[in-house]
Each structure stands twice: as C-alpha cells, then as structure tokens.
Amino acid sequence: MKTLLKNALMAGALAAGTAFAAQAAMAQDSIYLPNLSYRTGPFASTGIPLMNGQRDYMMMLNERDGGVNGVKLGYDECETGYNTEKGVECYEKTKADAAITQPWSTGITLQVLPKTNVDKIPVLAPGYGFSPMADGKTFQWAFNPPASYWDGASMILKAISDGNLDNLEGKKIALLHLDHPYGKEPIPLFEAMAEKHGFTFLPIPVGLKEMQNQSAQWLQIRRERPDFVLMWGWGAMNAGAITEAAKTRYPMDQFIGIWWSSLDSDLKLVGEEGKGYRAISWNVPNSDSPVMQDIKKYVVDPGKSLINQGEGEFDWVFYQRGVMISMMLVEGIKAAQEEFDAKVPTPEQVRWGLENLNIDEAKLEELGMTGMLVPFKTSCADHTGHGGGWMLEWNGSKFEKVSDLITPDREAIAPLEAEKAKEYAEANAPWPVNDECKM
C-alpha cells in the first residue's frame, strides 16, 4: 500500500513535469503522437511497462537530440483502461491533430480500423491486431510490424517441430487462449496447419471471468494430455495459467506462449518452478545496449521515468518492447521527413514512412539496438514485414534468448491472409483498395 501510494505520488509529480514539458514543446515545432494507453483496469499490469517503454524512448530522444530532425515528439497518452468505450472516446478526442493512432486493444482496433479510410490516420499496432492487416493494399492505413499473430503461430509450430511441421503428425497441440477477439485470432491458422500436417488441434478457451481461476481448463489439459500447450494470454490470464501449470506440475518445456505472454512479473510469481517456460518474441531485452544506457542516462537517472525500479522493470522484456515500438514509429516519421522534406509530416506522410521502413542490422546498430529487434522491411503491399522472432526461455529469474532467428512459413500464411483480407473488404464495402501499389 505504501509503495502504491508512493508510486501514485511519484507518477502524479512526474506527470506534472511532463505535461509542462509538453506544453512548452507545443510552442515549438512538434508532432502529436497520441497513445491510447491502459495504465488502469484489468490489463494494467501488462500495459504499464509497455507504455513506460514507449514514453521513455520518446523522452530520451527529446532530451538527447531535441526530438527528430529538430521536431519535438509530442507523446501523449489518453487513458482507456482497455475499455472499448473509452477507446473510441480517446480516438475521437485525439484524432484532429494526431499523426498516428495506437489503439492497443483488439476491440478498439476493430472499431478504429474501418474509420481509418475516412479519417486518414495511420494505425500502428505492432505485433497485435488483425493478422490480415499485413495486406497493405487492402488495409492501407494499418500497420502491424514486425510480425502478426499468424506469423507467431507459425514460428511456434516451427520451433516445437524442429523446423519440419510434419514431425508433429499424430501429436496433440492445445491452445490455451483468452476467449476474446485477441485469443481467437490464431485459430484459423492452427486449424489449417493441423489439417495439412496431421496433428490434433485443441482450442481451450479461458473466459474473461475465469482468467484468475483456470482450474477447469487445466483439468482438461491433464485429462487430454496434449504434447504441447500454446498460450495466447493477456493480463491476469498469463499469471493464472503459469501458476496453475506450476501447481499441476505441467512440464514447462512443453508450454509456450506468444509474445504478449512473456511478462517478467508473471513468471516471477513462480520463480524457479517456471524454469523452462518459453515464449516467442520479436524483441530481446539488453539493458547494456547503447540505447538503453541512453534512456538510463537521460530519463531514468534524472528521475523522469515512471518505471518501478524496485521491481527491475528496466530489464523487462515488455519495457524494452515498448522502446522498440516507439523506435518503429520514430523511424517512420524520420523516413517521412526525409522523403517529403517536411519538418512536421502529415498523417499521410507518416503512412508513407511506415510503409517504407527498413530496419536492417545496420540500422539497428546505428540506433544502438543490435540484436534487440528482428530486422524487417515493410512495403506498400506488406505492412507487417514478417521479421520473425526468437524463443525466449525463463531461467528462473529472467528471460533468455535460446534460439536463432525463426521465420514464419509465409507460403502457408499468405494465401490465408489474402482470403481473409478480401472477406473483410467485401463485408465492409465500399472499401477502397490501394491500386497504386504494384508489388
């Protein structure tokens, strides 16, 4: 309680500081980058480190370089509490000046996505949202770099089959997922793969009300004895599943999560017992990298960050993932500035920038992020980049990278994406398609 109070006070004081800074920045050239954050509500535990990471990277750039090419980054949060109703309110509130929108919840993404063609604001949904958004010709305004959920599903299957999906024949794979648009997202791909490669696919939904108490689901897992349990969990569900797995002594090396199921504090609850739990991720934390050291120097050490240092949030996968997300956005803005010779690019120019991201090894090194993010490249036809990911394994106290780069099986996914994108466009007719894109 005491720490909570202290944190709240600190947050208040710091927020006061940033708001003044933001107001001062408005006077100069600045670009408005709203973020529909969720530091409150049932998913706050996962939201806070992500938001902190995003915020701190932008603050660091403002402090160190004075923004990008002389333009301050006007990062601003609008609190949604992961609530769709608040999300729409925030979207409407921020859209007039916004160069980008980050909806965060799949529910909010679903509402905002069809409006983007009308409002002409790019949607940045890194590693979440609707997998067919990869089809840039159909979803002109939506971006989900560097990998979609279907990519993630494909990568996990590759990892557990040693690279050849036919090894899975006759095996049983369970998907423990949140019974929500987000958790249902990978099911079509798993079903298609199960049919093709002859394994049994068993979806086990966890309702929003059962997140903390998953005894029924784990009873089913014990009865069915699947060879692998994959998890599409979020917020309190991850902690619930991991503690339940530890309690029922489910072999952790057969339990693999998607990137949103790799929150350090969830695993800390079980500590040593969680050893061997793996999660696929497109970022790897590295607190000694130049970029993290700069954040430490310019933001954390002067006390301008909101992170919980006692918990070691600075080293978390999620915090540093937030940093990566802001980097993608800033690189998009930079690309737009250079292409259009504009100081403050318009939303349409930012869209071009995000469409022409080229985050290769050289770029990562230049930014001081070597090995922290999968290299990827977007185009007008490909809004995801499909960079791939690495397996992270919990070693009892933190996540470690345990695999080489795993890339998704694009040949199997692309037709499914094209089909679903077409379905979406038809259901939402009249839906404009980017015909200028010749790729």
Residue 111 in the binding site for other proteins (CB under 8 A): yes
Residue 88 in the binding site for other proteins (CB under 8 A): yes
CB atoms within 10 A of CB 341: 8
Are the C-beta atoms of 109 and 123 separated by less than 8 Å? yes
* Whole-number CA gyration radius for the chain: 21
In the complex, what is the shortest distance from the CB of residue 147 to other proteins, in angstroms, rounded to a whole number? 18
306, two tokens: 């909101």
Residue 78 in the binding site for other proteins (CB under 8 A): yes
**Residues in contact with other proteins, total (CB under 8 A)?**
50
Residue 256's beta-bridge partner residues?
A: 230, 278
Residue 117 in the binding site for other proteins (CB under 8 A): yes
Residue 427 in the binding site for other proteins (CB under 8 A): yes
By C-beta, is 41 or 375 nearer to other proteins?
Answer: 41
The angle subtended at Cα 368 by Cα 321 and Cα 333, nearest 5°, is: 70
Q: Write down the H helix ranges in 129-274.
A: 149-160, 181-184, 187-197, 215-224, 236-247, 264-268
By C-beta, is 192 or 437 nearer to other proteins?
Answer: 192
CA dihedral 382, 383, 388, 391 (to 10 degrees): -160
Residue 210 in the binding site for other proteins (CB under 8 A): no
In the complex, what is the shortest distance from the CB of residue 41 to other proteins, in angstroms, rounded to a whole number? 9
By C-beta, is 95 or 377 nearer to other proteins?
Answer: 95
In the complex, what is the shortest distance from the CB of residue 60 to other proteins, in angstroms, rounded to a whole number? 18
- In the block, tokens 């979609």 appear at 148
- The SS3 call for residue 424 is helix
How would you classify the pairing of strands 255-257 and 278-281? parallel
Residue 72 in the binding site for other proteins (CB under 8 A): no
Between the CA of residue 320 and those of 76, 77, 315, 408, 424, what are the distances in Å?
19, 18, 7, 23, 33
Judged by CB under 8 A, the residue of 32, 66, 172, 187 near other proteins is 187
In the complex, what is the shortest distance from the CB of residue 291 to other proteins, in angstroms, rounded to a whole number? 24
Judged by CB under 8 A, the residue of 10, 69, 171, 179 near other proteins is 179
Sign of CA dihedral 127, 89, 323, 208: negative
Q: At residue 420, what is the residue type?
A: K
How would you classify the pairing of strands 278-281 and 390-394? antiparallel
Judged by CB under 8 A, the residue of 75, 82, 130, 390 near other proteins is 130
The angle subtended at Cα 190 by Cα 127 and Cα 386, nearest 5°, is: 35
Residue 208 in the binding site for other proteins (CB under 8 A): yes
By C-beta, is 16 or 362 nearer to other proteins?
Answer: 16
- Which residues between 9 and 38 bind other proteins (CB under 8 A)? 11-12, 14-20, 23, 37
In the complex, what is the shortest distance from the CB of residue 139 to other proteins, in angstroms, rounded to a whole number? 13
In the complex, what is the shortest distance from the CB of residue 116 to other proteins, in angstroms, rounded to a whole number? 8
* Residues near other proteins, by CB under 8 A: 8, 11-12, 14-20, 23, 37, 39-40, 76-79, 81, 84-85, 88-89, 92-93, 106-107, 110-111, 114-115, 117-118, 130, 179-182, 184-185, 187-188, 205, 207-208, 420, 427-430
